[in-house]
A and B are shown apart, each in its own frame.
Chain A
């Protein structure tokens, strides 16, 4: 049974101008011990999907799903309890996640005291052990520091150590490397892979960067306009994408074309989040759209563990 098991999740946020369909229909199955990437353009619902699993949707938001389970428990009732016990969160901005006026020692100790039944001295050694596990070279010195004295990469490691300190075995990482330099980001991704291997961690990795998916993830799900349109092993999704949107995203990357040649831009933009979608959400921008695409929701195509939604038959790429 997948650790995170989501079937047709939707999140609607009421606003004075009508409902925002932040998530329309997302299905995700994340197995224990994998890093699962969720990729898509800005506004396609990546963050809101993660927030729903953390029980942190905006006030008044309506969540619906055929299934919305973490380790067999229904997230609609239990998200708040699971957050900070089993489910941890890493965001794009580590500086904002840390308290600027408390030492790292104090912040680590607060987390350990709240979540683990341990005497003071044991908490200290646990804090040192966790910081060391995130690859910080001098944990004792880091403990004495304040957030602003640490680089972005070090701050992100402290945030990861804090999540581990709660005892979480599932991390939701929302663009964890976007604010970091490429080389520092690569180190943080390597760290997450190490923690998956050594501690049996499971990670939901939200990103808009195909290189992050390639670098760190085992499987990936592509979102478009609040819909999961493709899912499968990273190898398949990046090298044999089935959905025309996934293909277009890859073709638009600067290294997809010869040096200096024109890139294949995707014309148009995502459907407005308040709109009703009939047929395929990508149809207005899809170079292969057919009449049926405007009217009927596309069926699921399957090649082993690789699945996508499209009216085109398999193998028509």
Chain B
């Protein structure tokens, strides 16, 4: 028998309330999404603005009620968990978002930022905690002298490393990334993507990785979900989709810019 998947989502429908009492029901932000994420794998979710990516993540984090459908997290019926059980189960999730500076308090030291989730969970500060914090930081590729620096003194890439370290503090099984490299330069983006590959390997992490950049997600994900206006229009193994996209839209995204065969082709030829 195979192991339970880290995450299994079936026929998930998410709909925001219309404005005003008699407003027409808006169309669903997510319209029946189904997918499955095996342990230790990465699922990339790609789609343009408003396609429903963040809504999907928020529902998985239970920040948003769902209209119908089911979510199984590590074999548990995740949508029916209440209070303490929900709190405990949430620790299986780590979250990293697009703008690291918005998610880190500028005046705290990095040591204080990394201690926060541990203290909130009731762990006591002391040498053990200090050791753990130093380990998290070095796992994320920052030297120990960063512990005493403050968040406002970091570059974008360094701040994103700290945000990842903090999300790892409670040893989640599933890490959720919402556009984690969109605000970074390509050289730094490459560093962060390499870091994620290392963490996946060393910690056996499962990851959900949301972005509008198909080339980024195609590189690091094992399977891929393409969303458009709330619908999942394509879902499968990444290499399959990259090799033979079923949807014209996916093809367009893949061929933007430097292609593989003809790196420089203008889509609108100049009249001669």
**Interface, chain A (partner B; CB < 8 A):** 41-42, 152, 181-184, 186, 189-190, 193-194, 196-197, 208-216, 234-235, 238-239, 248-249, 252-255, 257, 259-260, 262-267, 269
Contacts and interface: CB of A to CB of B under 8 A. Distances in A.
Contact of B256 (A197, A215, A239): A215
A189 B256 CA distance: 11
A249 B214 CA distance: 18
Contacts of B186: 41, 208, 210, 249, 252-253
Interface stretch (B10-18, B22-30, B86-94, B190-198): B190-198
A265 B257 contact: no
Given A193-B270, A249-B186, A252-B187, A260 B256 contact: no
Nearest to B193: A263
Contacts of B256: 182-183, 186, 211, 215
A239 B263 CA distance: 8
Interface string B237-272: 011001000000100110011101001101110110
B103 interface: no
Contact of B194 (A196, A211, A255, A265): A265
Interface of B: 48-49, 155-156, 185-191, 193-194, 197, 212-216, 218-220, 238-239, 242, 249, 252-253, 256-258, 260, 263-264, 266-268, 270-271
Nearest to A40: B185
Given A41-B186, A182-B214, A260-B220, A194 B268 contact: yes
A41 B187 contact: yes
B251 to A, nearest CB: 11
Given A197-B270, A249-B186, A254 B48 contact: no
B267 A266 contact: no
A163 to B, nearest CB: 19
B48 A253 contact: no
A41 B257 CA distance: 18
A196 B257 CA distance: 19
B268 A193 contact: yes
A236 to B, nearest CB: 10
Given A186-B267, A238-B258, A248-B187, 9 more contacts: A181-B49, A182-B252, A182-B256, A193-B268, A197-B270, A259-B242, A262-B194, A263-B193, A266-B190
A265 B190 CA distance: 5
Contacts of B155: 269
Nearest to A257: B219
Contact of B219 (A184, A259, A266): A259
Contact of B190 (A184, A234, A260, A264): A264
Contacts of B197: 260, 262
A267 B185 CA distance: 12
A249 B186 CA distance: 7
Nearest 9 interchain pairs by C-beta: A211-B257, A181-B48, A254-B219, A266-B187, A265-B190, A252-B190, A263-B190, A265-B191, A41-B185
Contacts of A262: 194, 197
Nearest to A254: B219
Contacts of A197: 268, 270-271
Given A239-B264, A266-B187, A181 B216 contact: no
A262 B195 CA distance: 9
A210 B258 contact: yes
Contacts of B249: 183
Given A183-B253, A249-B186, A260-B197, A254 B263 contact: no
A183 B252 contact: yes
10 contacts: A181-B212, A186-B256, A186-B267, A196-B270, A214-B257, A214-B264, A215-B256, A254-B219, A255-B218, A255-B258
Contacts of B215: 211, 253-255
Nearest to B222: A260
A169 B63 CA distance: 50
Given A254-B193, A259-B218, A212 B257 contact: yes
